[in-house]
Amino acid sequence: MEPLGKLRLGVNIDHVATVRNARGSAYPDPVRAAKLSEQAGADGITAHLREDRRHISDRDIERLMAELTLPLNLEMAATDEMQTIALRHRPHAACIVPEKRQEVTTEGGLDVAGQEARITDFVGPLAEAGIRVSLFIGHEAAQIEAAARTGAAVIELHTGAYCDFHYAGETAKRDAELAALASGAALAQSFGLEVHAGHGLTYETVKPVASFPQVMELNIGHFLIGEAIFRGLEASIREMRRLMDEARG
Ligand code: PXP
């Protein structure tokens, strides 16, 4: 069998900023983490500028744009404020995610099917500005079909439920979720969408997703930043890179 193409790894540095903000201090610095991620083999950096600025700040985005050589994937909600910020900075990519103030993380995919016209209007100016727009969605066919009609170039499939079932020991549900993600990836590719995946991925859960032939990029953050406590950031990323490459055969 032909080996699959190399899978890109986007390292999400939000939780370096979470630790910094826990004390309102200047450190640890997420931009330093981004530079170290590059040395460790990351292909891109992901940062989520949340509406409440609970981790990444506007200044972090400015600095990432100025100091990074890797492409920046700016995660953001579909709001006027975020669209203005994205158009000002013109990052390589923008990943549109749903956002609720009360959630601890991005709990579900974006409901593109339920607000297709609004999302289409939102994607347009970003795509025209040369930003690669990605929609963070679940694996449901209706969401993938709607995403394909919005003009977005990319979808990112939400792997959170698959990972949660794995750690809950619910293997039948985990495997069903994985099968649904695989079908979703194939359907998306049939519409000409580039497929990414992410949320909740760890050393234990990454390989099955990394082996989907349609998936071109994984975005991983929380686990890597946590693992960095024990083995250092570079080593934690290198091990993820190794597992991804192994899964690609
Ligand atoms: N992709 C998207 C769209 C996300 O919202 C997140 C979390 O910010 C991730 C990937 C990374 O998820 P995790 O931090 O659980 O690895």
Judge if the upstream peptide bond of residue 28 is cis by omega within 30 degrees of 0: yes
For the packed helices 171-190 and 160-167, what is the interaxial angle rounded to 10 degrees?
A: 160
32 closest CA partner among 56, 64, 58, 79: 64
CATH architecture of 8-248: Alpha-Beta Barrel (3.20)
Distance 236 CA to ligand 1 centre (A): 17
pTM score, whole prediction:
0.96
Tokens representing residue 96 in the block = 């549109």
Atom nearest to 201 CA in ligand 1: 16
How do the residues of the chain divide into helix, strand and coil, expressed in percent and rounded to 5?
50, 15, 35
Q: What is the 3-state secondary structure (H, E, C) of 105-120?
A: CCCCCCCCHHHHHHHH
Q: Which residues line ligand 1 (CB under 6 A)?
A: 12, 14, 48, 75, 95, 97, 105-106, 136, 156, 198-201, 219-223
Contact 155, 135 (CB under 8 A): yes
- State yes or no: pLDDT of 111 exceeds 80: yes
Mean residue pLDDT across the chain: 96
Residue pLDDT, tens place only, 19-45: 999 999 999 999 999 999 999 999 999
Distance 1 CA to ligand 1 centre (A): 31
Residue written as token pair 């998936």:
215
Phi, psi of 55 (to 5 degrees): -125, -80
Quick one: DSSP state of residue 98? -
- Protein residue with its CA nearest to atom 7 in ligand 1: 199
With the most atoms of ligand 1 within 8 angstroms of its CB, the residue from 8, 9, 11, 12 to mutate is 12
How would residue 169 be classed by pLDDT, with cut points 50, 70 and 90? very high
Whole-number Cα distances in Å, 125 to 41, 91, 96, 148, 155:
32, 13, 13, 16, 18
**What amino acid positions are annotated as catalytic residues?**
48, 75, 199
Nearest-Å Rg of the Cα atoms of the chain is 17
Residue pLDDT, tens place only, 48-86: 999 999 999 999 999 999 999 999 999 999 999 999 999
